[in-house]
Each structure stands twice: as structure tokens, then as C-alpha cells.
Amino acid sequence: MGKVLAVCNRKGGTGKSFTTASLGVGLARQGEKVLMLDTDNQHSLTVSMGITDPDKLPITIKTIITDIIDEKDIDPTAGIIHHTEGVDILPANNSLTGIELSLASVIGRETILKQYIEKVKPLYNWVLLDTSPTLDLLSMNALAAADSLIIPVAPKFLDAKGLELLLRSVAQIRKFINPQLSIAGILLTMVDTRTNFTKDIIAMIEQAYGEEIHIFKNHIPHSVRAAETSATGKSIFSHDPNGKVAAAYDALTMDILTYSKGAQ
């Protein structure tokens, strides 16, 4: 059975989609079979993986969720697109914006996405969930279905302060919806260690959370080359294979594989 990992933060601009794509391809490079789900109505993951006109797609994650709500039989492989770097993606588009209204009136609304994932995860080693920067119903669905989550955090003051809100939400989801949910770790992203301010914020995060939550030792460095990848439709491993960001995500991939073995 595949492992389900969500990439989540209630703050935007922390590198959630970039981390999902990079980790997905990183795992595929290690021989893992990976499916990535775009559960963010901004569909950044979809576009960054080279799907340039998602609104023309006949089947997206919105289609699948709507069919489950309507109690229709679904083909778990429908709508999945294979990327040339060895990962599969179930894309999203602008239609996902209206899914909140559809979910709101459904009994068991937090577990709709889990119903799909339970059908598809026997086909994969990993199912990665890219989430929106708000704890909306779809993000709650992602956390309800996940075995674990990564929290990307940029070393900025407001991002660090926002961690507390997310951790409270995770605690509530553990208590009421998904007691098996674990935190794989906090991932520091877009790190520029040349500034003392960045070092101070990292030290603050480590002091506040380091004893309770794993903080990945390998930080994701700030890089112009990394910012370019969204426009290429490729991962950092193809766009800048010898760069420091690719090396950092390679290290994260190995950390996650080690973590998953320990969690079994």
C-alpha cells in the first residue's frame, strides 16, 4: 500500500508546490512509483509540471471529487497524466474553486478525498498532496487522508509565527478526524544564510519546535535557478541538476525514505 504524504502550510509563498514536485521527482529517481495530487485551487503544481492549459482538461481532481459526492463509480486512473520525469499527476484547474460549496453539505465531507486515495494508492508507493495556503475543506480532506505531512517554512518572521496556527489545526485533525497523522518534519525553504536575520529566524524556529518536531537538517537554499523551474515544466533535477537546490531535495528525498521505513 502506498504512503500518503501532504505538503502543507497555511501561509502562501513557502514553496509547497515546488517541494511537492521536487520530492515527487526525487522519489521517482529512487525507483519509487509516485502520484501527485494538486488539491490547490491555484493549481500551481499542475502548471509547474508543464500542463499549460489545465482548463481544457476533460478530467481533473474536481471531476473525481464531484463523482464521489454524487456516489458515482470512479475509475481511479482517470485523469492521471504521466510526466516525462517518471511521476504521475492528477491535475487541478480553475473549476476547483467551487468545490468548497459542494463539500460543505456532504456528510463525512472531510473524508471525500480519502475515498479516492484508498482506491488509487495500491497502484503507487507514494501519493503526495499539494495543498492550498488556507485550511479550507479540501486541505482538511488532504490531512484526513495523509499518513504524514511536511511543513515548508520560509525563514521569515510572519511565516515562523504562523506555524503555531497550523500546528493547532493539525492537533485538532489528529483528535477528531485522523489520529494516525504524523509530522515528518519542518522543512526550511528559500534559505539565504548570508543574512543574520535569516539565521535568527531559523534559531527561533529550532528553539520553539525542535524538541517536539523534527526539523530537516538539510535546508532548501534560495536560488534564482529554482525560481525559473515553474516556467519550464520540468523539475529542479532537470532544470539545474548540479545545483545546490537539486542537492538539497535529493537529501530530503533520502530523509523521507528513511522516515517512512521508521514509521512502518
In order, the DSSP letters of the chain are --EEEEE--SSSSS-HHHHHHHHHHHHHHTT--EEEEE--TT-HHHHHTT---GGG-S--HHHHHHHHHTT----TTTT-EE-TTS-EEE---GGGGGHHHHHHTSTTGGGHHHHHHHHHGGG-SEEEEE--SS--HHHHHHHHH-SEEEEEE-SSHHHHHHHHHHHHHHHHHHHHT-TT-EEEEEEE-SB-TTSHHHHHHHHHHHHHHTTTS-B-SS--B--HHHHHGGGTTS-HHHHSTTSHHHHHHHHHHHHHHHHHHHH-
pLDDT (tens digit per residue) in 110-137: 999 999 999 999 999 999 999 998 888 9
Question: 162: domain CATH number?
Answer: 3.40.50.300
Res 224 pLDDT > 90: no
pLDDT band at residue 263 using 50, 70 and 90 as cut-offs: low
Task: Render pLDDT for 169-187 as a digit per residue (tens, 0 to 9).
Answer: 999 999 999 999 999 999 9
The percent of residues above 70 in pLDDT, for the chain, comes to 99
Name the β-bridge partners of 36: 89, 128
- Asked if residue 193 has pLDDT above 90, the reply is no
Within 10 Å of residue 233's Cβ, how many Cβ atoms?
17
Q: Name the residue range of residue 55's domain.
A: 3-263
Q: State percent of the chain over pLDDT 90.
A: 81
- Whole-model pTM? 0.95
pLDDT tens digits for 61-74?
Answer: 999 999 999 999 99
The three three-digit cell numbers of residue 103, written as one number:
463539500
Please give the pLDDT value at position 160: 76
Q: Is the separation of the CB atoms in 145 and 1 below 8 Å?
A: no
Residue located via cell numbers 537546490: 245
* Number of structural domains in the chain: 1
Place of cell 511537492: 20
